[in-house]
């Protein structure tokens, strides 16, 4: 095994999300004013909003190949137009400034910079992002730049994509090209977005590009994404003095369905699969022993051909902050393993009535608070940034031309109060970036789910700031949460 395991497997493990200081925090007055310098922003990714897939020498990405498969994307959509943000980038900058945001997370399309994944650098792509970053800075907006937000160049699939170890060198070339051009004006860098989702949906279940269905390939892909983080962080740190480099993880608190020790063990195992397998090596503890054992049993063999001696040292200790992508929790029960269930647990969901988004995800702000406190406790000294948080709500413009998305407002305020409670209890949370600025192409779900603070009419390209966007603009302007649901009126 490479690296030092964080803790051994446990027969009756603790609840993954236990937060001893939560009750104390709840008894104190809720913080409603955020710290000075707190980053208020929103997030997007290149493939989901840019369109213009053939402009300025852009190469083909794995998502063009995947979306061409019949039935791969709900409704048959793709990213060929999306929000047209590559052409209308100045419109987006104006919108960000209008909302008064102080930060904007966006991704640089890998296929625009290295059209074949390695080798020739396409300067026109870099020119575009340079103009975009300069415009953000001119408006007083802090760029938060993501390198890999899933749009790997298709040419790298010749060696298995992320399942091939050569992907690490290719990603490092990408990081070098972007850092050399933009390092003098970008301070916040996210190397990888959601390694678990890349491994799970891209290489285990085949529901995202590149559409591979192989458990061993998924383990290799997840490991190489983490190695890419380490190598990319080294490259950025060498070129950008003072850079803050992190990785954005999709973190799902895992709660047991009952107090039965078997369900508690299932929740702990699921936590290892979803969260600790990525948190521990990134933050210097090596891969967790209990999950390593689960993988060896499921694969019928060891992992030493994938995770080599010395790899842990190439991953850990390179995170200046941790990006937290939080949407909901997982409620887990024990289950028998089988051909379609490699691990002894299953998601059963919450019992009883619960508030849900239009996508059916449970809305649980308290789990975000507990997650932040857990990260603060288990990985002390690592600043936290909420790099994604949002919900699917399908509200559209009404007769008055406005979008009255009251449920998104409730979601937003509930989660921001949870962040405030975590900060009040000691968690070092430096910013909140709402997902998403714009309704956009939501991967295999196509254009149906709407996450945006801004409504996009895909036929006409018309943008309408939703009521939630107006509320968020006021919060960003004041750094304060409203005491109760505010009356909403357009600004400007």
Residues acting as catalytic residues:
194, 388
Letter string b/e over residues 168-202, b meaning 16 or more CB atoms within 10 A of that residue's CB: bebbbbbbbbbbebbbeebebbbbbbbbbbbbbbb
Q: How far apart are CA 382 and CA 428, in angstroms?
A: 8
List, edge to edge, every strand of the sheet that includes 254-256: 254-256, 330-334, 345-347
Which residue's entry shows tokens 């996508």? Answer: 359
Cα(230)–Cα(245) distance, integer angstroms: 10
Q: How far apart are CA 192 and CA 214, in angstroms?
A: 21
Token pair listed for 195: 């390694």
* 3-state SS track over the chain: CCCCCCCCCCCCCCCCCCCCCHHHHHHCCCCCECCCCCEEEEECCHHHHCCCCCHHHCCCEHHHHHHCCCCCCHHHCCCCCCCCCCCCHHHHHHHHHHCCCCEEEEECCHHHHCCCCCCCCCHHHHHHHHHHHHHHHHCCCEEEEEEECCCCEHHHHHHCHHHCCHHHHHHHHHHHHHHHHHCCCCCEEEEEECHHHHHHHHHHCCCCCCCCCCHHHHHHHHHHHHHHHHHHHHHHHHHCCCCEEEEEEECCCEEECCCCHHHHHHHHHHHHHHHHHHHHHHCCCCCCHHHHHHHHHHHCCCCCCCCCCCHHHHHCCCCCEEEEECCCCEEEEECCCECCECCCEEECCCCCCCCECCCCCECCHHHHHHHHHHHHHHCCCCCEEEEECCCCCCCCCCCCCCCCCHHHHHHHHHHHHHHHHHHHCCCCEEEEEEECCECCCCHHHCCCCCCCCEEECCCCCCEEECHHHHHHHHHHHHCECCCCCCCCCCCC
Specify the length of the chain in residues. Answer: 492
């Amino acid at each position: 095994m490479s690296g030092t395991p964080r803790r051994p497997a446990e027969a009756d493990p603790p609840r993954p999300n236990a937060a001893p200081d939560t009750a104390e925090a709840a008894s104190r007055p809720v913080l409603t004013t955020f710290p000075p310098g707190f980053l208020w922003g929103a997030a997007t990714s290149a493939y989901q909003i840019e369109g213009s897939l053939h402009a300025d020498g852009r190469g083909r990405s794995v998502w063009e190949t995947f979306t061409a498969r019949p039935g791969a994307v709900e409704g048959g959509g793709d990213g060929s137009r999306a929000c047209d943000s590559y052409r209308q980038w100045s419109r987006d900058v104006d919108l960000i400034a209008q909302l008064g945001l102080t930060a904007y997370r966006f991704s640089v399309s890998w296929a625009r910079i290295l059209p074949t994944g390695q080798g020739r650098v396409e300067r026109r792509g870099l020119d575009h992002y340079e103009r975009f970053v300069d415009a953000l800075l001119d408006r007083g907006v802090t760029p938060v730049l993501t390198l890999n937000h899933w749009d790997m160049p298709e040419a790298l699939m010749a060696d298995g994509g992320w399942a091939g170890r050569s992907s690490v060198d290719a990603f490092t070339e990408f990081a070098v090209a972007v850092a050399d051009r933009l390092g003098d004006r970008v301070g916040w860098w996210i190397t990888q977005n959601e390694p678990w989702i890349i491994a799970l949906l891209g290489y285990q279940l085949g529901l995202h590009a590149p559409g591979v269905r192989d458990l061993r390939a998924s383990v290799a892909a997840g490991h190489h994404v983490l190695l890419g983080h380490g190598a990319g962080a080294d490259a950025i740190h060498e070129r950008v003095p003072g850079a803050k480099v992190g990785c954005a993880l999709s973190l799902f608190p895992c709660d047991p369905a009952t107090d039965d020790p078997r369900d508690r063990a299932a929740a702990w195992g699921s936590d290892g699969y979803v969260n600790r397998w990525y948190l521990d090596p990134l933050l210097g503890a090596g891969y967790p022993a209990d999950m390593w054992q689960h993988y060896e049993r499921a694969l019928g063999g060891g992992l030493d051909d994938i995770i080599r001696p010395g790899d842990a040292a190439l991953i850990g200790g390179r995170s200046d902050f941790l990006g937290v992508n939080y949407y909901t929790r997982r409620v887990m029960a024990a289950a028998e393993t089988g051909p379609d269930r490699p691990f002894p647990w299953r998601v059963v969901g919450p019992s009883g009535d619960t508030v849900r988004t239009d996508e059916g995800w449970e809305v649980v702000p308290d789990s975000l608070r507990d997650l932040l406190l857990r990260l603060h406790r288990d990985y002390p000294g690592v600043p936290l940034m909420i790099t994604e948080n949002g919900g699917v709500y399908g509200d559209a413009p009404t007769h008055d031309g406005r979008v009255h998305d009251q449920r998104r407002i409730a979601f937003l305020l509930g989660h921001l109060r949870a962040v405030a409670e975590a900060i009040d209890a000691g968690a070092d949370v430096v910013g909140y970036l709402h997902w998403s600025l714009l309704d956009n192409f939501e991967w295999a779900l196509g254009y149906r789910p709407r996450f945006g603070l801004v409504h996009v009419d895909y036929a006409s390209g018309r943008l309408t700031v939703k009521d939630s966007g107006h509320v968020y603009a006021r919060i960003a302007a004041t750094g304060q949460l409203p005491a109760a649901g505010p009356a909403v009126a357009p600004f400007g």
